[in-house]
Chain A
Amino acid sequence: MSLLEIQNLVVEFQTASGPFRAVDGVSLKVDEGEVLAIVGESGSGKSVSMLAAMGLLPWTAKVTADKLLFNGRDLQAMSDRDRRKIIGKEISMIFQEPVASLNPCFTVGYQIEEVLRVHTDLDRKARWDRAIELFQLVGIPNPEERLGHYPHQMSGGQCQRVMIATALACNPKLLIADEPTTALDVTIQKQILDLLMKLQAEHGMGLIMITHDMGVVAETADRVIVQYKGRKIEEADVLSLFESPKSVYTKALLSALPENAVGGRLPTITEKLTDQQIFEGAVR
């Protein structure tokens, strides 16, 4: 049984110019102990599909799916109350925009303790110790002091690490990490990726890694899904994807690495490929 199974997920937003389909029939599975990377162009529905699966989209979104199962349990049929018990504890998410996801009115220590208070039965002292331990794990120096800071007193990358610590607080079974290292320099990125991979291996945590960084994919993923305008374009194990990408889109994506720039210009994909070429070249 898969940890998370999504079949034919469709998400539509009501907008002033009519309905807009942000996710158009995406299916995916993640097993225990597996790392699935989702890559794809900005706006291709990566974040929306995961937020939809967790029931975190605003009411303007219409979400349908043939299957939406966590550990065999139907997330769609579940009451809000039951879903809230799972989300934040068994499934947790590192949101894409860390600074916006933290509450500016509370210290970061309070915010992480609050998650522990709601989802565990640790007492106050134990929560505090756990918070310190988590800050150490994500490489925030002087945790005792930092826990007393407000988000605006921390740098962008420090806020991102607070988000990561919060998401890991309850040892989730499934972690959805939405661009978790965008604000981090490569040395700290490495530390964070190593940490995620370690937790993943030790606790059998399933990990969905949304990223546009092919280096991150190469260093973490078992399997990769490539998405474009709400649709899945290619799915492959990580080695095959890099060694022999099948769809035209994935090929173009890999050649857009800045290392491959010619004469000061970087290759872009959409300048060269039409939507039709991309969709027709899809390999699923």
Chain B
Amino acid sequence: MTPVLEARNLKRDYHIPGSLLKKGKTVHAVKGVSFKVEQGKTLSIVGESGCGKSTLARMVTMIDPVTSGEMLIDGQKVDIAAEPLSSDMRSKVQIVFQNPYGSLNPRKKIGDILTEPLIINTKIPAAERRDRAMAMLKKVGLEEKHYSRYPHMFSGGQRQRVAIARALMLNPRLLVLDEPVSALDLSVQAQVLNLLADLQEEFHLTYVFISHDLSVVRHISDDVMVMYFGEAVEYGSRDQVFNDPQHSYTKTLFAATPRVDVEAIKARLERRKRA
């Protein structure tokens, strides 16, 4: 089967412009990363803050061009630097951005935010657009009364759900989620993760899931890639990566995960008392 997404040696540099006094500089944010995701599967990407995960996400969703390397979606090569994207391709791949607030237009009501992708990319009539947006609001655990509110009237977690709802409006094939649940409490996080699982089952959705929460990653992934300073230092099935991590960064990562464990709390309080 052709994978939904294949990346071959993707690289991305950023140029930081210089000034009169300072020379410009190039940051190699992603330094040659390759992976494949089959339909209906979830690839998780974890890694240190600043290691290039969001940069990779923006390349995969064709927002930023690649500096070099190849990307194939459904076996079809895409290069936004060479030719403009078809609207078909645009609706196929959607992203939920890392910072929900910045990605929602503060001057638009939630209803308009949700129906906008339908207006741009489809010919669906207004009444149906509204129905679909309402249905989606409920799907992500929000209510009809939220339809006519502005983004600033929501809590952080509610805004994150709006962003997820918006990404789902076009029935994408591939959904890139950049830290989609890190702002959510456990209950809403569970709701969103269950929702993502349902949608995956129902529509055979494919996910690229960026997260630093290892317990979440362990729960939802088929494959896991660990990035470190722009490189993939570990890539394999979930069980491989979790049961037998190879790279020292992966091991450090597992060791640093905070534990909800009464004995650990007792030990900490003891240390605190002594200090």
Chain A positions within 8 Å of B, measured between CB atoms, are: 13, 15-17, 39-44, 47-48, 58, 96-100, 145, 148-149, 153-158, 160-161, 179, 182-190, 201, 212-219, 238-239, 242-243, 252-254, 256-259, 261, 264-270
Contacts and interface: CB of A to CB of B under 8 A. Distances in A.
Given A96-B183, A266-B190, A270-B191, 13 more contacts: A42-B156, A58-B152, A148-B22, A160-B49, A187-B253, A189-B256, A212-B189, A215-B257, A219-B264, A239-B262, A256-B187, A256-B189, A266-B219
B252 A187 contact: yes
Contacts of A96: 156, 183
B48 interface: yes
A39 B186 CA distance: 10
Interface in B37-65: 46-50, 53-54
B153 interface: yes
Contacts of B269: 238-239
Contact of B49 (A42, A158, A264): A158
Contacts of B193: 258, 266
28 contacts: A39-B185, A41-B157, A42-B183, A42-B187, A43-B154, A48-B155, A97-B99, A97-B156, A100-B99, A100-B102, A155-B50, A156-B98, A183-B182, A185-B48, A188-B48, A188-B49, A189-B256, A215-B258, A242-B260, A242-B265, A258-B193, A258-B213, A258-B215, A261-B219, A266-B189, A266-B219, A268-B187, A268-B191
Given A156-B54, A158-B49, A15 B156 contact: no
A99 B186 contact: no
B185 A40 contact: yes
B242 to A, nearest CB: 12
Interface in B140-155: 145, 148-149, 152-155
B101 interface: yes
Nearest to A160: B49
A43 B218 CA distance: 27
Interface string B186-198: 1111110110010
B158 interface: yes
Given A149-B16, A156-B54, A258 B185 contact: no
Q: Shortest 3 CB-CB distances between A and B: which pairs?
A: A42-B157, A157-B49, A215-B258
Contacts of B123: none
Nearest to A190: B256
A41 B187 contact: yes
Q: Interface residues of B: mostly helix, strand, loop or mixed?
A: helix
Contact of B258 (A161, A213, A259, A270): A213
Contacts of A182: 179, 182-183
A201 B187 contact: no
Interface in B73-130: 98-102
B166 to A, nearest CB: 17
Contact of A186 (B148, B153, B189, B214): B214
B50 A186 contact: no
B188 A42 contact: yes
Contact of A212 (B185, B194, B197, B261): B185
B13 to A, nearest CB: 13
B262 A243 contact: yes
A98 B189 CA distance: 20
A76 to B, nearest CB: 24
B182 A242 contact: no
A268 B99 contact: no
Q: In this complex, which of B16, B179, B187 has the most chain A Cβ atoms within 10 angstroms of its Cβ?
A: B187
